[in-house]
Structure 1
């Protein structure tokens, strides 16, 4: 017998966070999330998402053992932005059992329907501003920092429930020596041309992080306004994310383009911290995880190009190529082994073609699915 219950206390939250560790215990590609980060993310009062929206966590039990989990998400800012009645699901993990998956989604959809929502999309934790997408192609290695991971059978489970493709997301990979240096050579000429329009590139100033972060937030909300399901981050949400990213940030991998002191574009690549997290058992920093984190941070030899955006009116001027070029130049100087550019929309040729032109190889795909409820 399968029983699906709402998570309503700290004990249930701990079980919710820890379930994937058991599910993927034999999977060498699984990377545990840090427990304290997941706990704060899923705790009203800890994360600013809860100031405008709600979630409900569910656990599925079979013979008194946890066999699945899911979060039903009512992102009211998303619905106000697009004037829709969409719900989301996230944090979905499940054994390979259609009945268990069905029961989990029955519970999540009932909760969403009670909120007056008529469609469910996902996976998204909590939106496309955070970790999102179902891995559908490229199961040959661990995910990079802040990218999702799941077993191959998940897609079959979801399609059997009635989910269909909404859109696919792409991840590209560069390896050392296997990328085009043409962009780096062209970059210098393009930068000179941009200077004639008073557009210059520089690295982020961490000593003035608060002001820099506020300016980047404005660009982020403008540059991504037409992206898939994009919802502008509130000031508190952006600051929360920026504070986390600052802990792993290499200033040379955060490049700003500005004109007359106003930021008009930026690119951010972060170290692939998953190289360390994969070795931290059950995502616990104590007693030895913190030591591993601090000891190995400088040994990371891969990056994820997480964000690259230019505000409308400044696109197709060559700024994007210069931002990529700067990152590649530093990537080479640091003798790194690989970089992932992710994610991009499957149909976004304006972004995908430049990535491919400088040697990016499409190696993973993710999917956002949808279903009427």
Structure 2
């Protein structure tokens, strides 16, 4: 018999965070989070997302052993500002037992009905900067620090319990050598001249900080039309600024500004921390921090984390400026592979942007939906 209990204590929350460590023990593809960071992201006194969202966390037990977990989330910005009466769920992991996955989904269902919401969708996080989607293809590729990995049986569970495909996300990669400068060097100069634009490169994180709020404003503006988008609030900007910007190599952040220094485009690339996180196995100390610092300095794989372009400049070739700058940075750093974060299948603008680099789709993931 399966028993589901709500997470109440810090000890329960640690069990919630650590469950996948046993579920994926020995997997060469699963990338563990840093336990301390994961705990903090669920701490309602530390993560500002809880200003506009609420979450309940559940653990499933069978024979006194933890066999599954789920987070039930309501983002009130989404519900009230956008009128999307959606019950979110994420961090959904379970052994291959249909009774376990059903018991956890039933908890989400109950909360959604109690709050008079219309449907449930997952796996998703609190906002657009969180992980998204259950992996349905590409199980033999290593995960990243910004995606979930899961066993192949997960899809069967979603569909068995009556959830249907809602959104599909593609993950692509290409060799850095495919970014042939002949494709964008000439366009780079033409676009800059035509629109009065210039690139901005950075050597220190401190030089980026004054621009970060503008970057998140542009992020909100760039993605507002996408069906899954929930804007980032001012308090979240401060949180992400402190948590992430100093972690990214300054030369991997590129801005494009107009003649009045208005930000019109940005891109953030991260070194791949996947193998370093596997070595750290959830702990920064004593050696985890050294693995991460080594990856930050020496990783030959990079992840295109975010790209934002002002709607006024979309489809006008502004990305040629960004890619021209990355070409020089990647060449200097000896970057070999470029990996992209999950992108909505319906986002044709982003797919057009990458087409010249001959990307290969190596993973697919989905969110699933069920009416309440």
| Structure 1 length-normalised TM | 0.94
Q: 1:156-203 CA deviation, whole Å, 9 max, x = no partner?
A: 1011111111111111101243x1405x55334433432342111112
Preserved CA contact (<8 Å) 2:122 2:369: yes
Report the counterpart of residue 86 of structure 1 in structure 2.
86
Report the counterpart of residue 133 of structure 2 in structure 1.
133
Preserved CA contact (<8 Å) 1:2 1:60: yes
Report the counterpart of residue 64 of structure 1 in structure 2.
64
1 CA distance for matches of 2:130 and 2:343? 14
Report the counterpart of residue 143 of structure 2 in structure 1.
143
Paired residues for 1:239-278 under 5 Å: 239-259=238-258, 260-278=260-278
Paired residues for 1:138-287 under 5 Å: 138-177=138-177, 179-182=178-181, 184-204=182-202, 206-259=205-258, 260-281=260-281, 283-287=282-286
Preserved CA contact (<8 Å) 2:96 2:153: yes
Q: 1:267-321 CA deviation, whole Å, 9 max, x = no partner?
A: 111111122101112x011233223333443221111101112111111221023
Q: 1:54-97 CA deviation, whole Å, 9 max, x = no partner?
A: 00000000000000000000110111232121110000000011
2 CA distance for matches of 1:75 and 1:348? 23
* Structure 1 runs not aligned, ≥5 long: none
2 CA distance for matches of 1:153 and 1:221? 35
Paired residues for 1:46-61 under 5 Å: 46-61=46-61
Cα displacement (A) at 1:29? 1.0
* Structure 2 runs not aligned, ≥5 long: none
Preserved CA contact (<8 Å) 1:167 1:369: yes
2 CA distance for matches of 1:44 and 1:193? 45
Q: 1:229-261 CA deviation, whole Å, 9 max, x = no partner?
A: 111101121221232222321222211111111
Report the counterpart of residue 325 of structure 1 in structure 2.
324
Report the counterpart of residue 339 of structure 2 in structure 1.
340
Query: Segments of 4+ in structure 1 off by > 4 A?
Result: none
1 CA distance for matches of 2:336 and 2:100? 41
1 CA distance for matches of 2:303 and 2:370? 31
1:358 and 2:370 are equivalent in the alignment: no
Preserved CA contact (<8 Å) 1:138 1:365: yes
Report the counterpart of residue 315 of structure 1 in structure 2.
314
1:125 partner SS = coil
| Structure 2 length-normalised TM | 0.95
Q: 1:4-43 CA deviation, whole Å, 9 max, x = no partner?
A: 0000111100100000000001311111100111101111
Preserved CA contact (<8 Å) 1:136 1:152: yes
1:233 partner SS = coil
Preserved CA contact (<8 Å) 2:271 2:295: no
2:276 partner SS = helix
Range with greater deviation from structure 2 (219-228 or 63-72): 219-228
2 CA distance for matches of 1:69 and 1:54? 17
1 CA distance for matches of 2:256 and 2:200? 7
1 CA distance for matches of 2:315 and 2:368? 31
